Amino acid sequence: MSVVRIPPTLRAETQGERQVEARGANVRELLEDLTARFPALQERIWEDGGVAPFVNVYVEGEDVRTLGGLETPVREGATVILLPAMAGG
């Protein structure tokens, strides 16, 4: 399993958890496992079959968009960070 860090803006969907465990050989599988266990995250993370454009995903501190996207491998015990973009005015 890997650890997924949940930012404050998504913690209501994970029942207040700051981090949760999820399984997956790559980012897609890991996020599918995560959203299967926490269905409220589904609409906050996914859009049109991919990660919503305003959600950044990092594996071991590296943005998956600069790696292999959803096919980026996730090793056992890795730390994955979800970070929705913030906007303000």
pLDDT in tens, 33-58: 999 999 999 999 999 989 999 999 99
Nearest CA to 54 among 16, 4, 10? 10
pLDDT averaged over the chain?
94
Does the pLDDT at position 88 exceed 70?
no
Q: Does the pLDDT value for residue 89 go beyond 60?
A: no
Q: Is 36 buried (19+), middle (13-18) or exposed (0-12) by CB count in 10 A?
A: exposed
pLDDT of residue 87: 61
Residue 86 pLDDT > 80: no
Q: 77 pLDDT band (50/70/90 cuts)?
A: very high
